[in-house]
Structure 1
Amino acid sequence: MSALKNFIQNSEQQHVIDQLNSLKEAIQQRGEYADRENTFPLDNFKDLSSIQYNQLTLPKEYGGKGFGIYDMILFQETLASFDGATALAIGWQLSVVGEIYEKKIWSEEHLKQFAKEIVNDHALVNRAVSEAITGSPTRGGRPGTNAELIDGKWHITGRKSFTTLSYALTHFLTAAWIEEKNTVGFFLIPSHTKGVSIEENWDVLSMRGTASHDLVLDHIVLPKDALVEINDGPRGNNVNGWVLHIPAVYLGIAQAARDYALHFANTYSPNSLPGPIAELPHVQEKIGLIELKLLNARHFLYSVASKFEDPATHATITDELGAAKYIVVNSAIEIVDLAMRIVGAKSLQTSNPLSRYYRDVRAGLHNPPMDDMTIAKLAKRALGEAH
């Protein structure tokens, strides 16, 4: 990934990337197997835990590594070039932790306690928000999961879909409707809690190795302090730079597709040609388009991350977060398509990595924020500025 080298800024970033590269072959092999057999590459997350990857976005004052958003997308793009599903899954840990501690969403007591679990017990957390009846949580639907405070304890029943990383999570940060408060609360639920189970129903074309099964909460009982945050509106309204972990994954997949296509073009030489197909003008044109789209997407993504983290420009970066996801994901889809056109019919073989990249990259269309919401926000801002 020579092009990515230009975005590495310091030795700390390089050290993490070197650690990831030491795991590359194993992560690739397990990812391929998990996709083929629709299983979960648990050992990938054990390996990532061994290099303290789960601590990357936990601030140093809480015992973590203290990396920011720019760093995170650099690492996530690298990891996704090995296996997109593994990167997308662990990316939720990085982004959820990053946002909670940056914005101090929880009480200081909760922040300190959970930081200890991240550092000492390799805790992994993801928000469990999606439900079949609500659609995307970013659109503000009221959850069907309900929480009721009875005799000083929370009683919760419900079901969550798309619970990515379900098998490896130690905690579920779960949204539930609190009738007495007329609002949505988030509860930190340890995975070993009685009544918590995973229903294995993740059977899809894309990101098969994420284990995004349903989370079932069957009359679980939690202490009063399990309520760690109150939602003040649809999460789609929040300005959250940590969501950039999503486009970083699809950029990594596009890079992997590009690398495969270039290797194929340089090594495939049918007997109808004097040399490899890389010498053909129409192949070179497709390679040039791939490079252009990668440059455009990568520069936009990393620029948005840099400006979001810069106090001088932080307040101006709002709709650009959604725009980055839109540009990167749609560019990634086009890049994979071009790579497949270079390789030809062989790219459709189930054993060919391009067939997996093709399926996985399309999952980005269904990760938040949705394209229509991004376009609508940009239109409203333009119209408002035109007055």
Structure 2
Amino acid sequence: MSAFAPHEILPDSLLTRLHERAASHDRENTFPDDDLADLREAGYLRLFAPRERGGAGLGLAEVSVLQQRLATAAPATALAINMHLVWTGVAKVMADRGVDSLRFVLDGAVSGEVFAFGISEAGNDLVLFGSDTQATPLADGSYSFTGTKIFTSLAPAWTQLGLHGLDTSDPDNPRLVYAFVPRSEAVVTRDDWDTVGMRATQSRTTELHGAVAPADKVVRKVAPGPNADPLVFGIFSVFELLLASVYTGITRRALNLAVDTAQRRHSKKSGTNYAQDPDIRWRIADMALAYDALPPQLAALCRDVDDQVDHGTQWFAHLAGMKHRAVSTAKQVVDEAMLVAGGSSYFSSSELGRLYRDVLAGLFHPSDPESAHATVASAWLGPIKG
């Protein structure tokens, strides 16, 4: 295989176009159809698919680098496309472990399908371990799904929605059913995405009114609650690490903007630019120290997923911790960058002002701070007794 070259997949010219559009999509609260078209043309939707089946044949470590790079230009676009990459990444993780039930996802990505992530539900803090959506088995092996999913990124563009629901047809043996449903009249997408930040993701609410997943798109039935099923591990690992990648990219962009601003701004008091100010230098150094820890941590964990390293009971703690650390660092660095830039960054037209709003979304993605700390505490101390 030839050497991985991020600049060939995401050339500077493409990133410049995406960056130039980001402000207007944020301001107008619109979906970046033009970005999606450009990324599709660049082969971005089929990054995880094997080369012999028309894909790029990349692993999670390589896609993480690309997502960091994309997020420096257009964070909301990166976050939106993340959800397609989650499902295609999960398909690769499972295939690497000998489970080929998601092969159609990789083939679909090559043929132009856009996959969305339909897991989140209002008030459901069980996330992967439970669902308020009703999954009803049908005679031909298909399932119908009735419920409401929130934060459905790519809402205007997806062609297949990967989701889960609870099958209680056998009260003594309930099962969480994972499947994919196509767009149909049974799927209603609300036009309700008017948020503080990450507006271009258009992560609208999705109503399911008996939406049917064909039998060959029902991919897994697992017991509710925590478990080590390959699909659950695949979703958790790819979701957490690609989310961390997006927020790491935002961190890098905020740091770059702070450096550029410090070199351009001049102090009337000293007569020199702010890059010569000891306090500003300390602040930017602190930002760089925080950022520098993220890419190598991400690379190591992504490689471990690719190489099937067994971290045992520590895996979920590593993954939740990485996501939490990336999001917390992103918020901290953007805060510091705004202080370096001064009052101009408070205007909505400022890129730093947009990043300030965008990083807030990280607090709401699983694993949220409470869940991350609970996961890590259980890994080190064991579960709470009683």
TM-score bracket, shorter-length normalisation: 0.7 to 0.9
Distance 2:151 2:178 in 1: 17
Q: TM-score, normalised by structure 1?
A: 0.87
Which residue of structure 2 lines up, in the alignment, with residue 166 of structure 1? 155
Question: What is the root-mean-square deviation of aligned Cα atoms in Å?
Answer: 2.6
1:302 aligned partner, one-letter code: A
Which residue of structure 1 lines up, in the alignment, with residue 252 of structure 2? 255
Distance 1:156 1:329 in 2: 32
Distance 1:293 1:155 in 2: 47
Distance 2:292 2:250 in 1: 14
Residue 91 of structure 1 deviates from its aligned partner by: 1.2
1:70 aligned partner, one-letter code: A
Q: Does 1:157 align with 2:157?
A: no
2:276 aligned partner, one-letter code: E
Distance 1:230 1:249 in 2: 30
Which residue of structure 1 lines up, in the alignment, with residue 113 of structure 2? 123
2:110 aligned partner, one-letter code: V
Residues 172-251 of structure 1 mapped to structure 2, 5 A cutoff:
172-181=161-170, 182-191=174-183, 193-234=184-225, 238-240=232-234, 241-243=237-239, 244-251=241-248
Q: 1:305 aligns with which of 298, 302, 305?
A: 302
Residue 36 of structure 1 deviates from its aligned partner by: 0.8
Distance 2:286 2:182 in 1: 47
Contact 2:164–2:179 under 8 Å retained in 1 = yes
CA-to-partner distance for each residue in 1:174-228, whole Å, 9 max, x for gaps? 222222252121221112x232221111111121111100112233345433422
Distance 2:299 2:153 in 1: 25
Q: Does 1:35 align with 2:31?
A: no
Contact 1:298–1:328 under 8 Å retained in 2 = no
2:348 aligned partner, one-letter code: T
Q: 1:69 aligns with which of 30, 43, 60?
A: 60
Which residue of structure 1 lines up, in the alignment, with residue 5 of structure 2? 13
CA gap 1:158/1:381 in 2 versus in 1, 3 angstroms: closer
Which residue of structure 2 lines up, in the alignment, with residue 59 of structure 1? 50
CA gap 1:62/1:314 in 2 versus in 1, 3 angstroms: farther
SS of the residue aligned with 2:367? coil
Contact 1:133–1:144 under 8 Å retained in 2 = no
Structure 1 segments of 4+ aligned residues over 6 angstroms from their partners: none
CA gap 1:151/1:40 in 2 versus in 1, 3 angstroms: same
Unaligned 5+ residue runs, structure 2?
A: none
Q: 2:280 aligns with which of 269, 280, 283?
A: 283
Distance 2:122 2:98 in 1: 27
Unaligned 5+ residue runs, structure 1?
A: 1-8
Distance 2:206 2:265 in 1: 47
CA-to-partner distance for each residue in 1:15-54, whole Å, 9 max, x for gaps? 545x342211221122211111111111101100001101
Contact 1:186–1:228 under 8 Å retained in 2 = yes
CA gap 1:370/1:221 in 2 versus in 1, 3 angstroms: closer
CA gap 1:371/1:343 in 2 versus in 1, 3 angstroms: same
Q: 1:86 aligns with which of 77, 80, 85?
A: 77
Q: TM-score, normalised by structure 2?
A: 0.88
CA gap 1:356/1:69 in 2 versus in 1, 3 angstroms: same
CA-to-partner distance for each residue in 1:269-315, whole Å, 9 max, x for gaps? 14333221111110101011011001122222222223343455655
Q: Which stretch has the larger CA shift, 228-237 or 166-175?
A: 228-237
Contact 1:107–1:228 under 8 Å retained in 2 = no
CA gap 1:186/1:378 in 2 versus in 1, 3 angstroms: closer
SS of the residue aligned with 2:210? strand
Contact 1:195–1:220 under 8 Å retained in 2 = yes
Among all aligned residue pairs of Structure 1 and Structure 2, give the percentage whose two residues are the same amino acid: 28
Q: Which stretch has the larger CA shift, 314-323 or 32-41?
A: 314-323
Which residue of structure 2 lines up, in the alignment, with residue 337 of structure 1? 335
Q: Which stretch has the larger CA shift, 169-178 or 279-288?
A: 169-178
Residue 253 of structure 1 deviates from its aligned partner by: 0.7
Residue 339 of structure 1 deviates from its aligned partner by: 0.5
Contact 1:307–1:317 under 8 Å retained in 2 = no
Residues 329-368 of structure 1 mapped to structure 2, 5 A cutoff:
329-368=327-366
Distance 1:40 1:151 in 2: 37
Contact 1:57–1:67 under 8 Å retained in 2 = yes
Which residue of structure 1 lines up, in the alignment, with residue 374 of structure 2? 376
Distance 2:218 2:151 in 1: 22
CA gap 1:328/1:266 in 2 versus in 1, 3 angstroms: same
Distance 1:296 1:162 in 2: 29
CA gap 1:187/1:318 in 2 versus in 1, 3 angstroms: closer
Q: How many residues align?
A: 372
Residue 123 of structure 1 deviates from its aligned partner by: 1.1
